[in-house]
Amino acid sequence: MAIFAIGDLHLSLGTDKPMDVFPGWEGYLPKLERSWRALVAPEDTVVLAGDTSWAMNLPDTRADFSFLQGLPGQKWLLKGNHDYWWTTARKMQNFLQENGFDSLHILHNNACVVQGTALCGTRGWPFDDAAAQGEKLMAREAGRLRMSLQAGRAAEQRIAFLHYPPVYPGASAQEIVDVLQECGVTECYYGHLHGRSIRFAVQGEMEGIRYKLISADSLGFCPYKIR
């Protein structure tokens, strides 16, 4: 059983917000499906690191979730900044169950353990939001990351997934990084960055943690194999 990750699919099969209008995204959905089917087996696990669907509410995700349901593997979804459909874990789990989306799961204040490896994560928050509300949200996201990592503490190893980058050139979301270091995380994968921003992504090892960008366009719309 392999573990894959990819973020920022920005699916819009149930809404009128095609990503093909952006440079580099032309025909991305067939590319994504081809590479996914070529790499991912039914017994594999794929973490989707946020911004999965452009839907504005949960019922409108059906077309996008049906597409994901038809792809191989078990998928674990994080919240991204554009996942406006995101609601409570209970409501989302009930929705998935009622619609037969049994290969889709929510990664939120919990962990998924695959052969001794715990997959943990949360959305995160921009490091440069200095407003009082931003500080509150950062603290909340750090707490959710800690909760997720604690949920996977019995596993041999824990891997962290975030939507927002926890590190930037010359800066970092220190509250998030502190939790990663506190919990002994050595691998962290994140999304959110697109287009020209990809070149500025911090990738590689920094203070004992290896970071990698996994936004869909940075990967050429090909799920990244972690294990």
Domain hosting residue 21, numbered range? 3-225
Residue 123, token pair as written in the block: 């959305």
Kindly state the average pLDDT of the residues 44-63.
Answer: 98
Report the chain's mean pLDDT, rounded to a whole number.
Answer: 96
pLDDT surpassing 90 at residue 21: no
pLDDT(176) > 80: yes
Spatial contact of 216 and 7, defined as CB atoms under 8 Å apart: yes
Cβ contacts of 70 within 8 Å, gap of 6 or more: none
pLDDT score for 133: 83
Amino acid at 84: Y
Q: Tell me what pLDDT residue 56 has.
A: 96
The pLDDT score that the predictor gives to residue 134 is: 85
Q: Residue 185: which CATH number? A: 3.60.21.10
Q: What is the DSSP string of 76-96?
A: EEPP-TT-TT---HHHHHHHH
Q: How far from each other are the two terminal CA atoms of the chain, in whole angstroms?
A: 8
The span from the CA of 203 to the CA of 126, in Å, is: 17
User: Which residue, among 64, 45, 68, has the nearest Cα to 55 in the 3D structure?
Assistant: 64
Average pLDDT over residues 192-200: 95
pLDDT for position 151:
98
d(CA 218, CA 199): 9
Read off the pLDDT band of 116 (50, 70, 90). Answer: very high
Which value, in Å, is the radius of gyration of the alpha carbons in the chain? 16
- Max Cα distance, the chain (Å): 46
- H or E stretch at 127: none
Report whether 85 contacts 57 (CB < 8 A).
Answer: yes
pLDDT value of position 177: 98
Provide mean pLDDT across the span 90-104.
Answer: 98
Q: CA-based angle 60:62:63, to the nearest 5? A: 100
In this predicted structure, the answer to whether residue 118 has a pLDDT above a threshold of 90 is: yes
- Residue 206 neighbours by CB distance under 10 Å: 14
Provide the pLDDT for residue 203.
97
Q: What is the mean pLDDT of residues 84-107?
A: 98
Number of structural domains the chain divides into: 1
For residues 34-43, give the mean pLDDT. Answer: 98
Task: Give the residue ranges of DSSP H helices in the chain.
Answer: 28-39, 62-69, 89-98, 132-151, 174-182
pTM for the structure as a whole: 0.96
Q: Which tokens is 85 given? A: 């459909």
Which residues, in sequence order, are CB contacts of 39 under 8 Å at separation 6+?
Answer: 4, 222, 223, 225
